[in-house]
Structure 1
């Protein structure tokens, strides 16, 4: 909720700045994490309140399509998603999935009804094959599939590694790694993707209060009173 609210706030700020440029008028921005979080419940709220459908936890499965889930392989896990009956027909045409070529599974509606048993059967088959083998097979059939990676594997991914950000503690010298931004900017690239280290408590008091017109003596008095 905190990061999502920040993204919503960014959008509202851009709208407010644009409105000010066009009209000269300001905009009041009032945003709460609760409201931001609830706004993501697009489908559940509509299904529940408009169609009386009870919404429950679904884990990694999908409300409208099957099979969609995480499956165990002989050396890890993969996420696979079937979005239409043509993709399902391609899967059961393979020898390893022939046992699932049943009339009741031909249409998505039938697979949704029996999703739990279907996912269990798929899991038992995939456990006998490596993630890499399955990914090659499903990619050839244009069925969405991806390996479930650990955090270290994600960090080492070439698409991620070249976008990681860094910051160095000027006191201890420790260098920390930060998650990559959604968009790499020229500003970050020019700075070798290094950001200033977060300030320590009160670190910039002198600079900030100085800009507000406080003298060194004023700051000392505030410190003596425990204000800063």
Structure 2
């Protein structure tokens, strides 16, 4: 906008233009000039305050999920604008921010506060509305169990040979189980610690109970399911003189096979081609290199 390429200027030339602005806090409002990074927004949107163990310090979520998620919302908004243009013949300006995207993902916590006047407490790996719903101990590796309704609760007790829990008055309903969360967690951990993670997963998946092991990134790289799904790909890279492993496309198309055509460029690998495209002669390019203004191998 400062150099005359703002939406108002561009749309006069082409009213069908779709002009998208992505920023930390949007194009208006008192924070619009503030700088932002993913963890800054995590702190401001309520996510950090809601994450962690009860009574513990706020915790940052691993991974830049706000950066990534806002990018996905940006793609959705452009697609929606393209569809609208097909109907109306007009383009439009899209204004999207990291802050507002992140706030929209906190909808459960915000709505809970609006309805009750209470700030939801931190629940660690659990969930306030259901129990059992969280990370439990086994003989060798923690496992996440989500028994979110009465059918799943009954199936969990039966598959763990713990029918006596169904008769316990403290655990009769989901509300009861949430009220006596600590006692029930102790009972379940006592049972699960006698079994391996694999045994627990085998029992629970057969009973159609949502569950999964706690995995590290090292576990993911060797995960048999991800291998079969071809989540990881090999890329030739000249700096390694060999293939390196990377993360591929997480979306599967029936008619397209994902393939990474080019490796990430080496430092200065395309400097000459780019400068020539900009109109520089070969002599000028090498003079720029001598002055250490540009670099190429």
Q: Give the TM-score, by structure 2 length.
A: 0.65
Q: Secondary structure at the match of 2:105?
A: coil
Alignment partner of 1:109 is 2:180: no
Moved more, 176-185 or 115-124: 176-185
Matches within 5 A, 1:12-51: 12-51=77-116
User: Residue deviations 1:154-208, cap 9 Å, x none?
Assistant: 223343122312322223324322223221356554xxx3442222344323333
Alignment partner of 1:55 is 2:123: no
Q: When you count helix as a share of all residues, which structure comes out higher?
A: 1
Matches within 5 A, 1:194-205: 194-205=260-271
Shift of 1:19: 3.7
User: Residue deviations 1:36-81, cap 9 Å, x none?
Assistant: 2222111011111332122222111112111111111112121111
Give 1:180's match in structure 2, choosing from 248, 254, 260: 248
Distance in structure 2 (CA, Å) of the matches to 1:216 and 1:85: 74
> How has the CA–CA distance of structure 1 residues 16 and 218 changed in structure 2, closer, same or farther, with 3 Å as cutoff?
farther
Aligned residues: 225
> What is the RMSD computed on CA atoms of the aligned residues?
2.7
Moved more, 165-174 or 19-28: 19-28
> How has the CA–CA distance of structure 1 residues 62 and 224 changed in structure 2, closer, same or farther, with 3 Å as cutoff?
same
Q: Secondary structure at the match of 1:73?
A: coil
Shift of 1:111: 0.5
Distance in structure 1 (CA, Å) of the matches to 2:172 and 2:277: 71
Distance in structure 2 (CA, Å) of the matches to 1:79 and 1:142: 14
Q: Secondary structure at the match of 2:190?
A: helix
Aligned to 1:84: 149
Distance in structure 2 (CA, Å) of the matches to 1:23 and 1:166: 45
> How has the CA–CA distance of structure 1 residues 61 and 21 changed in structure 2, closer, same or farther, with 3 Å as cutoff?
same
Q: Structure 1: which 5+ runs fail to align?
A: none
Distance in structure 2 (CA, Å) of the matches to 1:104 and 1:136: 28
* Contact 1:88 1:106 survives alignment (8 Å): no
* Contact 2:205 2:211 survives alignment (8 Å): yes
Shift of 1:85: 1.5
Shift of 1:4: 1.2
Distance in structure 2 (CA, Å) of the matches to 1:216 and 1:20: 45
Shift of 1:218: 5.0
> How has the CA–CA distance of structure 1 residues 226 and 3 changed in structure 2, closer, same or farther, with 3 Å as cutoff?
same
Aligned to 2:18: none
